[in-house]
Structure formats: C-alpha cells, structure tokens
Amino acid sequence: MPPRHERIGKQINGVWHRGIWLNFRRALWETRPRSHRLAYYSFLARRALYHSGAEIGNDVEVEYGGVRFLVPRGFREVFHSFYLDETEPRTFELMTGLTGDVFVDVGANAGGYTVRLARRFRKVISVEPNPRAADVLGKNIVLNRLSNVQVVQKAISDTNEETTMCVPSSGKTTRSSLVAKYDRGSYFPVSTTTLDDLLKGYDRIDLIKIDAERAEVKVLRGGERALQRTSKLVIETGPWSESEAREILEAGGFEVADLDLKEKAKNIVASKP
C-alpha cells in the first residue's frame, strides 16, 4: 500500500478532475446547440477558458466582436452578453444592423446589446434593476468609453411603486423577475417605473428591446403612449405571455414576426409598417 500522503494526494486529484468533468458536463447542458454544431463547440470552448480565468484569478477583461467586457470573478451571466451572435443569431443580426437616435434596452444585464449598439445610436437608455448586474453594466460602459449611455437602475412595469424582485438561489441575474417567484430564491427591493414615464421626453424611439423575465406584458401595458412613438421592438416572450403581447402590439399598429426560438422562450420583433 502506498504511503498515506500519496493516497491522500490521489484522492484530492480525483476530486479535482471529477469537479472539472462535472463543470464541463454542466456547461455542455446549459449551452446546448441551437443550430450550428461547430459554432456551439467554439462557444463552449471559449466559455470554459474565460470562466476558468475568472474563477481561478481575479476579474478579467476579454474582447469579443469588437467590444470589451469585464468578467468579474464568478459572474457567469456575462457570458450571455458575449455570445449573443451564437445564442440568438437572428435577433443579434437584426439589432446590430440597425442605427438611429434612441435605443432603449429594458433588461440590459451586463450590457451585451447596450455596449454593441451604443456606437450605432445617438442615445441609449439602459435599464437594469439588479444591483450586481447594474454594477457590471456600468463598468462595461466605462471600459468601452461610451458617453451616450444612461443607466436606469429600476424595473419597468405598468405602475410606479416600491416593490421587490425575485432572484433564483443560483444567483443568476439574468433570471431576476417582478413576476416569477422561485421556490428557492431571494428578494431585493426595487423601484418601478413605466415606459411612458421613462420616455416622456423623447419624440421618437427607434428601438426598444425588452427582456423582462415574464413581466413583458406589464412593460407593454405601461407604455401605451411611448409605443405610439416607437418604430421597432424586440421582445423575449413565451407561452405565458406571447398571445397577449402580440395582441397589444397588433392593436398598436405593429406587425409581429418570430425571431429566435430558445429553450423555454421566443424572441419576437414588432415593426411599424
């Protein structure tokens, strides 16, 4: 039998390698391919490398698609901001091909679309209620030297009030919701406002992106006047809200079409003819 210190060393190495394999399998499950297998494995490899750097060392900065992103240690939600071209390709192609005066990013998280579109629009209003995500968003704006972005740390709804948002026990800021109540989660206080109040000083809004984690109908209900001055919206919706969201948009004179079908949701686009 080998000496005790050698046996302990092998046990530690075994746990270490099993942990790496489990993390790889978890990443494999979380980023299942949507269409192009090669792009998927490229995405997975880069994600593993960047995540390892962020976990093992301190905060890291990476460059992808011509923009720079901060990856705080352990903040995996930033990866959703990196690889939008691979996780929602039709939405990415549409939005990054647009230009105009005003872009409103409702549910900006770490700034994947905010940072990319800030050089294509004169003014960007970036809304992110989760304090942790809003902090990273602000740092990414500074990192890319953007002076035309206004960060609003509120939630968009159909009322102006003080309420709470729920975050799952995983801590994923991309899942922060006014509506969803996770069985295992935590809450943080938040102020809400409406699109009508947020955008009352703007005569024309070229693009609104809404990723509100099941609160998208509330966002639309609170923006009746703002929508009259809006040319295009891109919205993440799902079985819980798609029918009602389409009804509101079509009643407002928009033509609605599908974009990307995701794991549990769908991106739609609404345009004025």
**Residue 68, in any domain of the structure:** no
Please report, rounded to a whole number, the percentage of residues in the chain having pLDDT higher than 70: 73
**Residue 8, in any domain of the structure:** no
Closest listed residue to residue 138, CA positions, set 200, 69, 191: 69
Give the tens place of pLDDT for each residue, 27-56. Answer: 444 444 444 455 555 555 555 555 555 454
- Do the beta carbons of residue 272 and residue 232 sit within 8 Å? yes
Give the tens place of pLDDT for each residue, 142-165. Answer: 999 999 999 999 999 999 999 988
Higher per-residue pLDDT: 10 or 52: 52
Q: Give the Cα separation of 126 and 108 in Å (integer).
A: 6
Report which residue type is found at 273.
Answer: P
The mean pLDDT of 234-257, rounded to a whole number, is 96
**Residue 9, in any domain of the structure:** no
**Residue 23, in any domain of the structure:** no
- Pull the structure tokens for residue 83: 């690889």
pTM: 0.79
Overall number of domains in the chain: 1
Q: Give the Cα separation of 183 and 33 in Å (integer).
A: 28
Q: What angle do CA 34, 127, 83 make, to 5 degrees?
A: 25
Query: SS3 of 190, please?
Result: strand
- Do the beta carbons of residue 122 and residue 148 sit within 8 Å? yes
Phi, psi dihedral angles at 101 (to 5 degrees): -95, -50
Q: Give the Cα separation of 90 and 267 in Å (integer).
A: 9
Phi, psi dihedral angles at 115 (to 5 degrees): -65, -40
pLDDT attached to residue 123: 98
Most confident of the following: 163-167, 168-172, 210-214, 222-226: 222-226
What is the CATH number for 261?
A: 3.40.50.150
Domain hosting residue 256, numbered range: 86-271
- pLDDT-derived band at 115 (thresholds 50, 70, 90) equals very high
**Residue 205, in any domain of the structure:** yes
**Residue 28, in any domain of the structure:** no
- Pull the structure tokens for residue 87: 């996780």
**Residue 244, in any domain of the structure:** yes
Order of strands across the sheet that contains 149-152 = 149-152, 121-127, 100-106, 205-210, 230-237, 266-271, 255-261
For helices 37-56 and 4-30, what crossing angle results, to 10°? 130
**Residue 108, in any domain of the structure:** yes
